[in-house]
Amino acid sequence: MSTYKICVYAICKNEEKFVKRWVESMKEADAIYVLDTGSTDQTVNKLKKYGVHVTEKEIKPWRVDVARNESLKLVPDDYDICVCTDLDEVFEPGWRKKLEKLWK
């Protein structure tokens, strides 16, 4: 049984080529939330296919800090740990166990 309720959240735009690998590496989380900021490819459909909670919102003018803050707003308040990542990053298997062990 897990000690903490953990989610992963991210922003993305036109990153369909990373979706499958990214979701596979994040699946140790209790939930995954993504803010898509205007993809014109299949990113949103692929994320939804893998069960990711996806919201679409264009950020104008573009500011990465605004986009990150908007993506964090998607996460329900009852999560203990929120991990922010990018879709071109992957976590090693067992990342959750290591995080829970080190969390204070």
d(CA 26, CA 91): 7
Residue range 66-95: average pLDDT? 97
Strand partners, 82: 7
Say whether pLDDT at 8 is over 80. yes
Q: Is the model more confident about 2 or about 41?
A: 41
pLDDT at residue 3, as a whole number: 85
DSSP string covering 40-79: -SSHHHHHHHTT-EEEE---SS--HHHHHHHHHTTS-TT-
Q: What tens digit of pLDDT does each residue of 85-96 get? A: 999 999 999 999
pLDDT at residue 1, as a whole number: 57
Distance of CA 78 to the CA centre of its chain: 16
Q: What percent of the chain has pLDDT over 70?
A: 98
